[in-house]
Amino acid sequence: MKNMVLILGFLVLLPLVMASPQNKELKKVTFLPSWVPQQQFAGYYMAKEKGIYAKYGLDVTIIPGGYRHDVVTSLKKGEIDFGIMFLYTGVMERANGAKIVNIGQIFQRSSIMFIAKKSSGIKTLKDFNGKRIGIWRTIAKELTTGFLKNHNINAEIVPFDKGTNVFLNGAVDVTVMMNYNEYHRLINSGINPDELNKFNFYDYGMNFPEDGIYCMESLFKKDPALCKKFVAASIEGWSYALTHKDETINVVDKYKEMAKVADNRSHAKWMLNSMNDMISSSGKNVTEGTLLESDYNNLTNFLYESKFITNKPLYGDFYKGSR
Amino acid sequence: MSKITFKISKPILYTFIVLVIAAAVFPVIELSRMYERYSWKKHTREQAQAKLIGEVNRIQKTILSIEQIPQNLAYVLEFSKPKKEHMNILLNAVVANNDEVFGTCIAFEPYSFDKDTLYYAPYLYKKDGKIVSVNSSDSSDHYFSKDWYLIPKTINKPVWIEPYFDEGAGGGNIILATYSVPFYYYDGANETMKGIVSVDISLDWLSKTVSSIKLFDESYCILVSENGTIISAPNPQWPYNESLFSIADEYRLPSLREIGRNLQKGKSGFVDVGEFGTRRDWWIYYMPIPANNWGVLLVVPEG
């Protein structure tokens, strides 16, 4: 009798087990973050690590980003299904004819700033004139040069690849940085916060959202459900990451080690804590992952007026996420 | 008038006498112990200081001799303006004859070597016991915006670049530090910067040198760069990942941050850091390496 109950129980549960996502054939997709493994992408790594992508029926391969992997090029070549890009990059590419679409706007605000040592005497934007200003050679170039142009700053522009050495070695007086990354690296190089003057772009009317999830328009048209699943799972991954920070730091560390990325726990904590601020839509009254039309219009107007684009892609053509 | 008398029993009297003697002797013993501890501490700190001064002088000499390599190469370039084939011979000689040198490069300003060539930068490095040659003339290298080229060019003087993992021609798995020197051509009236000579130094030899410095069995040394990046330490996770400042933050050791800032100012000194990764108290003697503004910390357990 006891055996009979067990067998019946097994037969009842069997269809449920068979229907669980782990046993369904998972849809293989590839995903390229815009940079090397770091907490900036913690939500995606956690979605993979904690089986959240699998729960949504996805088998996601995360390719470590970096100089050798450009997201737009990889999307256009069909090498990846999804990628992370700054909103401004997405708009510029779309305006220049690339058929890419934004399917989820993860970061809701700007983290870019210019920074100067107080000892340099640079206190206001006017003090930038005649100085050497470091900007990234490839990243956010339009935002940084547009910022300087809009404020009529006449300075020597020094394009550099990455990091803080150009600033620390005195090759530039002012440099571009992200608050969640290079700024803290400066602090961990021995400069105290009260020795620096920060010029946050969001204080100058340029609070443009940053990281969003992109794919080719053709993929979205062919399989919109797949795109929605990827975004929903990624947002759930972020939710997990921000509520399990120690575990998240350990997981991302594993990916950093594989990609030989130098980092430490102090910086990882700073970056992960900063992500709360980047993702939360406080004051915007939107659900996570949404690109507000007003944010989109602010950015496209800036790019158009600064002559970085000659046409403004329509919001509805560019953004395919939830509203 | 009656006389008041106290009667004290013998045991109480003896106890009282013992207590009085103990009260008098105990501070003396304790003072003597404190003096002993002070003398020992003073002695070991003098030993630490003497030891580190000697070692830092030794490292300083080696670093200065390494700096001489690209400086000499820059002089040769300035006076002889060699052709392509001669340049390769020069670079080959530098890599082959200097054990510490991993690779060396002569990188020219845009259209400077040849009026039709934007990028020209022959680079020779060691790989699997051989010397391999590449030319960073590929525009994807963009060497003009890399630290090793951009910083000495902009500040117009030789500079040590922060240690990094080799991601380029070296094929990875090696921590390098680059010393870069600008070179100039003089046309009789004006001096124009023509490019940068750089040498990539494998930090293995320096790590070994520093890790061999010991005052006692449990003491150890840490080597840091100008920005506080750890180059050598007994904890294998620290080099290149951590800086003195990130560890100060993680372990909540403000004194360690102070050491880092003092080294950047060229200062040396002793600091009691308290518990430092273990449940023991430690003290540190730190000293800058003036040649390149790096620093060495001798970490010693208390007691």
Sorting pLDDT into bands at 50, 70 and 90, what band is B239? Answer: confident
ipTM for the complex shown:
0.86
* Mean predicted confidence (pLDDT) in B8-14: 81
Judging contacts by C-beta atoms under 8 Å, the chain B residues touching residue A171 are 150-151, 154-155
Sorting pLDDT into bands at 50, 70 and 90, what band is B188? Answer: confident
Identify whether residues B216 and B190 lie together within a single domain.
Answer: no
pLDDT at A12: 45
pLDDT at B5: 67
Judging contacts by C-beta atoms under 8 Å, the chain A residues touching residue B155 are 169-171
Q: Which of A165, A187, A273 to probe by mutation at the B interface, max B CB count within 10 Å?
A: A165
pLDDT at B169: 47
A139 reaches B (C-beta below 8 A): no
Number of Cβ within a 10 Å radius of residue B280? 12
- Chain B residues whose C-beta is within 8 A of a chain A C-beta are 142, 145-147, 150-151, 154-155, 159, 161-162, 165, 172, 226-229, 240-247, 249-250, 257, 260-261, 264
A165 reaches B (C-beta below 8 A): yes
- Which of B156, B181, B202 represents a domain boundary (last residue)? B202
Range with the lowest mean pLDDT among A134-143, B219-228, B230-239, B285-294? B230-239
Along the 323 residues of chain A, how does pLDDT read in single tens digits? 445 544 444 444 444 444 444 456 899 999 999 999 999 999 999 999 999 999 999 999 999 888 778 899 999 999 999 999 999 999 999 999 999 999 999 999 999 999 999 999 999 999 999 999 999 998 899 999 999 999 999 999 999 998 999 999 999 999 999 999 999 999 999 999 999 999 999 999 999 999 999 999 999 999 999 999 999 999 999 999 999 999 999 999 999 988 888 889 999 999 999 999 899 866 777 778 999 999 999 999 999 999 999 999 999 999 999 87
Identify whether residues B251 and B297 lie together within a single domain.
Answer: yes
Is the Cβ–Cβ distance between B289 and B295 less than 8 Å?
yes
Nearest residue, CB atoms, B227 vs list A132, A170, A190? A190
Question: Minimal Cα–Cα distance from A173 to chain B, Å?
Answer: 11
Question: Minimal Cα–Cα distance from B284 to chain A, Å?
Answer: 18
Quick one: what percent of chain B has pLDDT higher than 90? Answer: 42
Judging contacts by C-beta atoms under 8 Å, the chain A residues touching residue B260 are 190
Judging contacts by C-beta atoms under 8 Å, the chain B residues touching residue A158 are 150, 154
pLDDT at B140: 59
Has residue B220 got a pLDDT over 60? Answer: yes
Is the Cβ–Cβ distance between A155 and A130 less than 8 Å?
yes
With a CB cutoff of 8 Å and minimum separation 6, the contacts of B258 are B271
Question: Minimal Cα–Cα distance from A229 to chain B, Å?
Answer: 36
Identify whether residues B169 and B212 lie together within a single domain.
Answer: no
* Mean predicted confidence (pLDDT) in B32-52: 82
CATH number for position B113:
3.30.450.20
Burial letters B204-216, b for 16+ CB under 10 A, else e: eebbebbeebebe
A115-129, B62-76, B141-155, B230-244 — which one is most confidently predicted on average?
A: A115-129
Domain map (residue ranges) of chain A: 26-109+209-318, 112-204
Pairing status of strand A82-86 against strand B230-232:
unpaired
Residue type, A97: G
Same fold yes or no, A26-109+209-318 and A112-204 = yes
pLDDT at B167: 58
Number of domains within chain B: 2
For residue B272, tell me if it sits in a domain: yes
Identify whether residues B181 and B217 lie together within a single domain.
Answer: no
pLDDT at B33: 80
A257 reaches B (C-beta below 8 A): no
d(C-alpha A255, C-alpha B226), whole Å = 28
CATH dotted code for A112-204 = 3.40.190.10
Sorting pLDDT into bands at 50, 70 and 90, what band is B166? Answer: low
Maximum alpha-carbon separation in chain B: 126
Contact across the interface for A137 and B147, Cβ inside 8 Å: no
Identify whether residues B98 and B128 lie together within a single domain.
Answer: yes
For residue B287, tell me if it sits in a domain: yes
CATH dotted code for A26-109+209-318 = 3.40.190.10
pLDDT at A40: 96
A182 reaches B (C-beta below 8 A): no
Nearest residue, CB atoms, A169 vs list B159, B244, B245? B159
Sorting pLDDT into bands at 50, 70 and 90, what band is B116? Answer: confident
For residue B123, tell me if it sits in a domain: yes
Identify whether residues B258 and B194 lie together within a single domain.
Answer: no
Phi, psi of B172 (to 5 degrees): 85, -175
Identify whether residues B173 and B232 lie together within a single domain.
Answer: no
Mean of pLDDT over chain B: 86
Structural domain span for residue B156 = 81-202
For residue B65, tell me if it sits in a domain: no
* Mean predicted confidence (pLDDT) in B69-79: 90
Contact across the interface for A166 and B150, Cβ inside 8 Å: yes
Identify whether residues B214 and B268 lie together within a single domain.
Answer: yes
Identify whether residues B292 and B238 lie together within a single domain.
Answer: yes
